[in-house]
Structure 1
Amino acid sequence: MTKKTKEKTLVALDLGNNQIKIKTDKEEFLFPTAMLAVEDTSNESLIPTEERHAVFKTAINDNKNYYFGSELKEIGYEERWIRSIGYGLRRYNNETFKAMLTYALGVSVASNGPGMHTVDVVIGLPTSDVGDPRLLDDTEAKKCISDYLLGAQALTISGEKYSINVEAIKIVPQYFGTLVNLVYDEALEIKDERIISSENCIIDLGGGTVLGDIVNGLTLGGKKFGDDWGVADIIDELRTKVNNNYQKTIDANVLMSILKVGSDELGYHYVPGNSNYRLDLTSEVVEIRNQYTSRILAKMRTEIRHPEKLSAILITGGGANIIYGDKLKKEFPEVEIVKESELANVRGFYTFGKIFGLGE
């Protein structure tokens, strides 16, 4: 008999080009937006990796076996990861993106065990893909996602079957997550009146995009700007520099990890399995961080004509940890770097869902 959970789960999803973020009432997840075919690894280890790590499969990709989630970095084989980097409808219609949506729902309920689950979902998209946030399917992008998600989702995780019924879905502009996260605490009490009563600019430095929105309080709308390049492009440039300087090819995901654990003061070092080998990449990383900062500054100068009218320019997303915030603040004193910026949006999506009674 299939086990059925009694409670409904509120799931907040942020499927960025570079990182997937998930939040429920029990857990938060942050891991690469990627999956790895089991068949690409199973013949290269005495102990098959599928016996040590969760294996996902669903009908959208012919029930093939894939690794997905927090264990990907441990498994490795980064050069064989399958990603869903893209923009607009082309990305949302992609089989890989849809599979990862289903897998992400599986991750969100996995701690409750296999069986039947009911969820409500809040997901954020770039402003240009959202249209009128009050309507579920007024843009092709929103319709594509809602048509796929609403209703029954079925997947298998390591041989155990999960049936997930998506009862309701809210699709909101990506920036709205950061705003809601800054305004409300976990008890849904207002903790920052300033955001509500003023005009602010939110710049989301994502894996594949730069998304800017200038909005008044918590209103849904306002001026938007952006570019179809992001952290992934910066890492690719760093990868090219390292290859040119040292004739060493280092996977983009490894370089991203080096940026996260290193610092300008302590340096950025590549240390593979052989601990006797240590490659100092500090000069290359500092150069690429400066280039990234200069590009963002140039975009801000063009798009933010009257910064003096803004209460704050909020820098969020994964790129907020790469950019030199002090250089932004020198020219734009209104700049604030959002704390735990990679999770700010998804936490706000979750709070938004609670405000509207989702998951109850």
Structure 2
Amino acid sequence: MKQMKLFAIDLGNRQVKLKSEKATKVLPSYYVDVAEYGKRNVLELVKSDDAATTGDYKSGRDEGFTYVWGTGLDVSRKHVTDTLGLSKRYDSREFKVLADLALAELARDFKESSGGILDVVVVTGVPTNEYDDEETFKYIKEALTGVRSAEIDGVTYVVRVHEVYILMQPVGTAVDVMVDETGDVIDGNDIEDGYVGIVDIGGGTIIIDAFEKMNLDTNNRVQLEEGSHKLFINIRNRVNDNKDGHRITEHEVERMVRDGHEDSTYYWSPNGRDNLNLTDIVKQERERYTRKVIQSVRGTFKSMSRMRKIYVTGGTANLLNQNEFKIAIPIAEFVKDSETANVRGYYKYGLLNEVNIVDESDAIKN
């Protein structure tokens, strides 16, 4: 038997969440062709001491193209390569490139991946509606399994993915709630012997599921294509409807809303001179979006009195008006660090089931 490195990967529509024994990372699900930036750094007079928040990435299966990717990605006046898609997403070139970048981003923390090949097992997830779709499983496994490589700032990282485990997306949060950091089940958790709801609000979808003693309740569930992209589009449209001539993109809206300010104000500069206060628009659209989610949850869970708790999770949960949500649905509990709850659960699932312990006779050799 051989113990391999365990990678948990959540390739969401708006955010990529990654976890290994070394780190937990959150990055955008889009990247920018380096050509969009023109000739870079020609005016850089002094080398910055600030830590880099982006890098140059080259996928092993997209030769000739370099992409800029990272938490500090500059999307102003740039054509963004997006992986958002609600159909055939997993078979697209953009998704496969994102998979390579994600694997390399995790692998860069392990020295053996740059001097050889790092052997890994991956746990990931898909929305509930796609869980029984054989084609979806096929495309995801094709995107991740085997020898994969990507270059980051001139250094090539290589991994050999021996197995890919695919879970229902909300199961990630369920496992995160019921399993501790070492992979042991927590005594007296709500998930194992209770009837609970999980509201997973992501970039592309809102998934509302119920589990009774870990069994999916197929009669009280829904999946809506109403993720945060709808919130960002509504804000974008309202800003662009103004007569001042300024045009904001959906990705600029996302950066502004997610970054925010400590005093809950929202500003956007279209040109580096003007600083537009968009606080009223953002707050009103967040409030409107919160009410829509509340209505969807109420419409799905018509017998909340029988439920022990409703966990609210996903990368968009922290954009809701949480006070209003809890007043409307008192049994709601917002999962801590909700944007990484699923990927933490995927990782804990791997630990709990020892999926990274592989029989060497079954291991991929090349």
* Interval containing the TM-score (normalised by the shorter chain): 0.7 to 0.9
The question of 1:163 aligning with 2:163 is answered: no
Q: Which of 12, 15, 31 pairs up with 1:16? A: 12
Corresponding residue of 1:141: 136
- Percent of residue pairs bearing the same amino acid type: 27
Residue 334 of structure 2 corresponds to which residue in structure 1? 337
What is the CA–CA distance in structure 1 between the aligned matches of 2:154 and 2:275, rounded to whole Å?
Answer: 41
Question: Which runs of structure 2 are paired with 1:115-126 in the superposition (5 Å)?
Answer: 115-126=116-127
SS in 1 for 2:265: coil
Deviation at 1:66, TM superposition (A): 1.4
Distance in 2 between the 1:173 and 1:289 partners?
27
Q: What does the per-residue CA deviation read over 1:172-192, in whole Å, with 9 as the maximum and x for residues that have no partner?
A: 000011111111111233335
Name the CA distance, whole Å, in 2 between partners of 1:310 and 1:321: 23
Aligned partner of 1:84: which letter?
T
Alpha-carbon shift at residue 352 of structure 1 (Å): 0.5
Q: Corresponding residue for 1:219?
A: 215
Give distance in 1, aligned partners of 2:283 and 2:198: 25
1:117 shift after superposition = 0.9
- Report the counterpart of residue 364 of structure 2 in structure 1: none
The corresponding residue for 1:326 is 323
Distance (Å, rounded) in 2 between the aligned partners of 1:264 and 1:237: 23
RMSD (Å), alpha carbons: 2.4
Q: Residue 173 of structure 1: which of 168, 185, 189 is its match?
A: 168
What code does the residue aligned with 1:108 have? L
What is the count of residue pairs matched by the alignment?
A: 342
Q: What is the CA distance between 1:145 and its match in structure 2? A: 1.1
**TM-score, normalised by the number of residues in structure 1:** 0.87
Distance apart, 1:322 and its partner CA: 1.4
CA 1:37 to 1:258, structure 2 compared with 1: closer, same or farther past 3 Å? Answer: closer
TM-score (norm 2): 0.86
Cα 1:335–1:161 change in 2 (3 A) is same
Q: Any residues of structure 2 matched to 1:224-239 within 5 Å, and which?
A: 224-239=221-236
Does structure 1 conserve the Cα–Cα contact (< 8 Å) formed by 2:76 and 2:252? no
Once the two structures are superposed, the pairs formed by residues 124-135 of structure 1 within 5 Å of their partners are: 124-131=125-132
Q: Which has the higher helix share?
A: 1
- Counterpart residue identity of residue 284, structure 1: I
Number of the residue aligned with 1:281: 278
**Equivalent in the alignment of 1:298:** 295
Contact kept, 8 Å, 1:125 with 1:173, in 2: the verdict is yes
Partners in 2 of 1:332 and 1:81 — Cα distance? 37
Query: Does the 8 Å CA contact 1:202/1:212 hold for their aligned counterparts?
Result: yes
Residue of structure 1 in register with 2:81 after alignment: 82
Task: Write the distance in 2 (CA, Å) between the matches of 1:260 and 1:155.
Answer: 28
3-state secondary structure, aligned to 1:61: coil
1:39 is matched with which residue? 35
Q: Which amino acid aligns with 1:15?
A: L
Structure 2, unmatched stretches of 5+, are 45-51, 358-366
Q: Could you list the runs of 5+ residues in structure 1 that have no partner in the other structure?
A: 1-5, 132-137
How far apart, CA to CA, are the structure 1 residues paired with 2:162 and 2:216? Answer: 24
